[in-house]
Structures are given as C-alpha cells and as structure tokens.
C-alpha cells in the first residue's frame, strides 16, 4: 500500500476516534453523551488528592473535578476557582481554650491566646492558623467573624475594654467595645461579631484590650470564622 494512502487512512481513523462515544457497562449510549458509565455494583472514582495538591495544579480548566481528601469533599473548578460540594454547611474554623492565663495593660492590647493547637474544627481547605490570634483564608468571599472572651477573676473596678479585628494588620472594626463595672471580683466576659470581605491569602487577626495591670485566668477564649459566600 502506498505510503500516502497509509497516512490518509491513519488520519481518517484518528478523526473518527475524535467523534467516538464511549460506553462502559452499556451498549446503549445516549446520543448526547461522549462518555456514559452504567453499573449497579461499582462506583465512579474521581482523582483523589490533598488540598495542597489540588491548589498546585497548574491552570486547571473550568469544569475540572477532583475529590479533596483534606476536606473529604468533591471539588469543582469554576470561573472563580475551586468550590467544594458541601451543601450542608458553610466552611468554618473554630479555635477555643478554657485554661491558662492572659496579660492585661492600661495602655497595650494583646493577641488572643489561640493558635493551631487550639483548633476544635476546621475546613482546612479554607483556613489556616499561622500565628497566635491569626487566621489566614485561602478563598475570596465574605466572612463572619465571631469572638468570645472571658475571665473567672476580673477584679473590682471600672475599666475600658475592647475586642478588635484586623485584616493584614489594619484595623477593620471592634467586635465589642465598652466600659465594664465590677462591684467585686467576679466572672466577666464579652462577645461580638463582624462581617467583612476578604481575598484569598488575607489574614484576620484579633486582639483584646482590658485597662488593668494584672495576669488574669482564662475562663474561655474562642475565635469562630465562617465563610458566607
């Protein structure tokens, strides 16, 4: 057979392959399907990888799908980035502790005494904890920030206090800010929420201020951040 004819047949075979339909487990392929899987006793398994491996994929096209083993969720790649198929809840992180002590000052504020060791639950594809009182977000969106702070031995007296939120080191607002009045040493606490947008890679940090000059006992400290959209 002449060489040019062999090449022509190869091109025709290749072009036919481009338009072929594939059926696995069925011979009755839907006219609109390029790939159709049918089974009553087996599953379709997507590529499985960690969150770090997923985000390291170079320029994944929109429509890509993987199973994220860090989150135990399937993920879909859209125009805005990777999104998890978790229809039951919003991604969130909770850090909390109910022991230890914390410092106070009449002039200085302090980072909340919570780090990665204090994580109670975490959607790790969305959040990480690089430092005390700091949470880094890996997805752009609007976030609900919630903070709780309490001591079991606030001394008697009147003093100012606040819980402050920062994004990338810049103050974005106060979750709680007022003046407490304690007639005697007693349990005292405050809480607050704030909603704020963030870009992937932004860091939220949280500080407290209590106008006093003593070491107090922690009743609890809690940071909760939820991605709303």
Residue 57 — pLDDT band, cuts 50, 70, 90?
Answer: very high
CA 224 to chain centre: 11
Burial-class residue 125 by CB neighbours within 10 Å (0-12, 13-18, 19+): buried
Per DSSP, the three-state class of 122 is strand
Query: In 14-23, which positions are buried (b, 16+ CB within 10 angstroms) versus exposed (e)?
Result: eeeeeeeeee
CATH of 92-227, one of 3.90.1200.10, 2.40.37.10, 3.30.460.10, 2.60.120.40: 2.60.120.40
Residue 8 — pLDDT band, cuts 50, 70, 90?
Answer: very low
**Count of CA atoms in the C-beta half-sphere (13 A) of 163:** 22
pLDDT at 86: 66
User: What are the domain boundaries of the chain?
Assistant: 3-84, 92-227
pLDDT of 6 higher than 90: no
Percent of the chain, pLDDT > 70? 89
Checking DSSP bridges between strand 22-24 and strand 35-37, what pairing results, if any? parallel
Q: Tell me: the pLDDT tens digits for 138-175?
A: 889 999 999 999 999 999 999 999 999 999 999 999 99
């Amino acid at each position: 057979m002449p060489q040019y004819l062999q090449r022509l047949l190869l091109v025709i075979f290749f072009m036919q392959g481009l338009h072929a339909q594939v059926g696995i487990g069925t011979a009755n392929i839907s006219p609109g399907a390029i790939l159709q899987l049918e089974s009553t006793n087996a599953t379709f398994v997507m590529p499985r990888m960690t969150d770090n491996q997923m985000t390291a994929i170079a320029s994944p096209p929109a429509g890509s799908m993987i199973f994220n083993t860090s989150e135990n969720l399937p993920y879909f790649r859209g125009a805005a980035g990777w999104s998890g198929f978790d229809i039951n809840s919003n991604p969130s992180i909770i850090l909390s502790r109910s022991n230890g002590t914390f410092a106070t000052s009449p002039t200085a504020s302090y980072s909340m005494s919570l780090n990665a060791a204090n994580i109670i639950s975490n959607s790790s594809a969305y959040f990480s904890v690089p430092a005390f009182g700091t949470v880094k977000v890996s997805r752009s969106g609007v976030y609900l920030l919630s903070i709780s702070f309490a001591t079991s031995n606030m001394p008697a007296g009147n003093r100012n206090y606040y819980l402050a939120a920062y994004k990338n080191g810049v103050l974005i607002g106060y979750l709680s800010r007022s003046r407490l009045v304690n007639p005697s040493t007693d349990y005292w606490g405050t809480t607050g929420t704030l909603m704020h947008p963030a870009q992937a890679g932004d860091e939220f940090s949280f500080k407290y201020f209590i106008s006093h000059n003593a070491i107090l006992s922690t009743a609890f400290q809690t940071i909760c951040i939820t991605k709303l959209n």
